[in-house]
A and B are shown apart, each in its own frame.
Chain A
Amino acid sequence: MKVLVPVKRVLDYNVKPRVKADGTGVDLANVKMSMNPFDEIAVEEAIRLKEKGVVTEIIAVSIGEQKAQETLRTALAMGADRAILVVTEDRVEPLGVAKLLKAIVDEEQPQLIILGKQAIDDDNNQTGQMLAGLLGWGQGTFASKVEVSGDTMTVTREIDGGLEVDSYKLPAIVTTDLRLNEPRYASLPNIMKAKSKPMAQKTAADYGVDVAPRVKTLKVVEPGKRQAGVKVADVDELVTKLHAMGIAK
């Protein structure tokens, strides 16, 4: 079967975000960008399914500026077969992304779509669920284990308080949680090979999808700073302070 893996280019998770002084957003000029960590896990899972013989072709998709090509090349170097870049200079919200992905799904007819559970920039945790809703497919969200057998998929999901196992009729959607797998690094030969793998370039207009944002960001500010605390010298002083604060009797 064919699997579609949407990936997003985001501020690298090790970089501390800086809020712009004019309150319009987070400064992304000259900072390291990488593939969203949850999407790396999604790519890895698709590759593992291919290695098991369940999947025949992996298509990586990204929506964003030209530079998102780099993110797609990373997916190709990990093991994706080909890529589609939907170029847009505008911010596209999860609903718009889901609609674009639906149009690609209509064209490509994958049986499985694996997305990250959330992007670490907007922290929305919406796209996979929205896409499943638009397609009328089942959604195995927050997956820590995925098994495909025939036309059924069984997913172990991380829920509050523990784990839940659900099964889904294919085609279906998976969104990845951290513990699904340990993504591989792309080897140098594979990075070289990825340069010659096909990457189609499209625009939102090609799909006839309206991606105009519904939500306007009025301002972005830094969170309130905590007041600097004190360091205590030893356990006795800590105990005394805790008593004084009424934390321990």
Chain B
Amino acid sequence: MKTLVWVEHDGSTVKDATLAAVTAASKLGEVHLLVAGKGIDGVAQAAAKIAGVDKVHVADDDAFAHALAENVAPLIVELMGHHDAFVAPSTTSAKNIAPRVAALLDVMQISDILSVESEDTFTRPIYAGNAIATVQTSDAKKVITVRTTAFEKAAAEGGSGTIEAVSSTGDKGLSTFQSQEIAKSARPELASAKIIVSGGRALQNGENFRSIIEPLADKLGAGVGASRAAVDAGYVPNDYQVGQTGKIVAPEVYVAVGISGAIQHLAGMKDSKVIIAINKDEDAPIFQVADLGLVGDLFKVVPELTEKL
């Protein structure tokens, strides 16, 4: 089976999410990559070095510069003429594109897989991760998105894929990129952070979030996350949100501060190796999944913890 993997990139570097998708794709067969964008030679070179990659298809055109689904999906559909599966990481750009590809190919997509059981059988979470379904597809061509925290990352070096330019399918004229606003942070990205410190509604405001959560995160070299409640209340930007509707993370250590542990939040972090909870309510559901729990007032306990570490 020949698989085509969507390379998630920012125009200059290959994102880690791609490496997890490559691992999943390699369980299906020969791995080809697709690098689409504008001025992406560097990304293509880096992609060719990923271990286990046979070929890198490069589509360099203005129409692909911002990965608009309306322009990228027809390109992928064309490449699927000689591939058996399309595999993409569950990033927002791939979640935008992959179902459009599936519909154009008249196949059902398998979203957010946790494992490859065989060529046509996969496991995936449903109901916010409260159940795991084993599903089998009867479609000849497969369109799959991969939960990146469920697969090891392929080595970024050591491969020697051949690079091949593909001709553009052009701008479909349905959509236009206007602008982008990327939150800048010196801290590790949530998706790849080894340690994450997350805050919830109990922080009360954005100022407390910055003065209590961030120093602890910095002490631990951790990424900073938040519950939906903290995001909705405006303490931190949307992209901090960990949960069913935000980011799914599985760091080595997840520190939940002032987070009760609602179903939708647990869905985003319960595969973390070690969970540490600090909450003043000893009956908070977060303690049912926490390896280490401390019942106490976060305004007192967290600064003390930061100081003693």
Residues of A within 8 A of B (CB): 11, 13, 16-17, 19, 26, 93-95, 98, 117-118, 120-134, 136-142, 144, 154, 157-169, 172, 177-179, 213-223, 226-232, 234-236, 238-239, 241-242, 245, 247-248
B 261-303 binary contact with A (CB < 8 Å = 1; else 0): 0011000001000111000001000011111111110000100
User: Which residues of chain A are near B178, meaning CB under 8 Å?
Assistant: 154, 164-167
Does the CB pair B305–A138 fall under 8 Å? no
Asked if B134 is at the interface (CB within 8 A of a chain A CB), the reply is: yes
User: 14 A–B contact pairs at CB < 8 A?
Assistant: A95-B109, A120-B128, A120-B244, A122-B126, A123-B112, A133-B101, A138-B70, A159-B92, A159-B93, A160-B191, A167-B176, A216-B137, A218-B135, A242-B292
CB-nearest residue of chain A to B305: A235
Does the CB pair B131–A226 fall under 8 Å? no
Tell me the dominant secondary structure on chain B's binding face. Answer: mixed
Q: How far is the CB of A184 from chain B (nearest CB, A)?
A: 17
The verdict on A178 contacting B228 (CB below 8 Å), with A164-B179, A238-B292 known, is yes
Partner of A133, one of B104, B134, B173, B191: B104
Does the CB pair B128–A166 fall under 8 Å? no
Contact segment of B26-34, B158-166, B180-188, B201-209: B180-188
A237 to B228, CA, bound (A): 30
User: Which residues of chain A are near B112, meaning CB under 8 Å?
Assistant: 123
A219 to B122, CA, bound (A): 11
User: Which residues of chain B are near A154, meaning CB under 8 Å?
Assistant: 178
User: Which residues of chain B are near A17, meaning CB under 8 Å?
Assistant: 127-128, 130-131
The size class of the interface chain B forms with chain A is 35 or more
Residues of B within 8 A of A (CB): 66, 68-70, 73, 91-93, 95-104, 106-112, 121, 125-139, 173-183, 189, 191, 195, 219-220, 228, 231-232, 237-239, 244-245, 247, 252-253, 263-264, 270, 274-276, 282, 287-296, 301, 304-305, 308-309
Interface centre among A26, A133, A177, A178 (most CB of B within 10 A): A133
Q: Give the 5 A-B residue pairs with the shortest CB-CB distance, closest first.
A: A129-B99, A133-B103, A130-B103, A126-B99, A138-B174
Does the CB pair A93–B270 fall under 8 Å? no
CB-nearest residue of chain A to B295: A231
A121 to B111, CA, bound (A): 13
Does the CB pair A19–B292 fall under 8 Å? no
User: Which residues of chain B are near A158, meaning CB under 8 Å?
Assistant: 92, 238-239
If A120-B244, A162-B239, A214-B108 are given as contacts, then 16 extra A-B residue pairs at C-beta distance below 8 Å, sorted by A number, are A26-B126, A121-B126, A123-B126, A126-B111, A159-B180, A162-B183, A162-B237, A164-B180, A166-B68, A217-B134, A217-B135, A218-B135, A219-B134, A222-B130, A231-B287, A231-B294
Q: How far is the CB of A154 from chain B (nearest CB, A)?
A: 7
Q: How far is the CB of A144 from chain B (nearest CB, A)?
A: 7
A93 to B103, CA, bound (A): 12
A134 to B73, CA, bound (A): 12
User: Which residues of chain A are near B108, meaning CB under 8 Å?
Assistant: 93-95, 213-215
A141 to B98, CA, bound (A): 12
The verdict on A214 contacting B103 (CB below 8 Å), with A138-B70, A165-B179, A169-B173 known, is no
The verdict on A235 contacting B301 (CB below 8 Å), with A165-B178, A214-B137, A241-B292 known, is yes
Does the CB pair A19–B131 fall under 8 Å? yes
Q: How far is the CB of A153 from chain B (nearest CB, A)?
A: 10
CB-nearest residue of chain A to B272: A226
The verdict on A137 contacting B174 (CB below 8 Å), with A98-B103, A129-B100, A236-B308 known, is yes
A222 to B107, CA, bound (A): 28
User: Which residues of chain A are near B263, meaning CB under 8 Å?
Assistant: 13, 16
Partner of B294, one of A163, A165, A232, A248: A232
Does the CB pair A141–B111 fall under 8 Å? no
Does the CB pair B270–A226 fall under 8 Å? yes
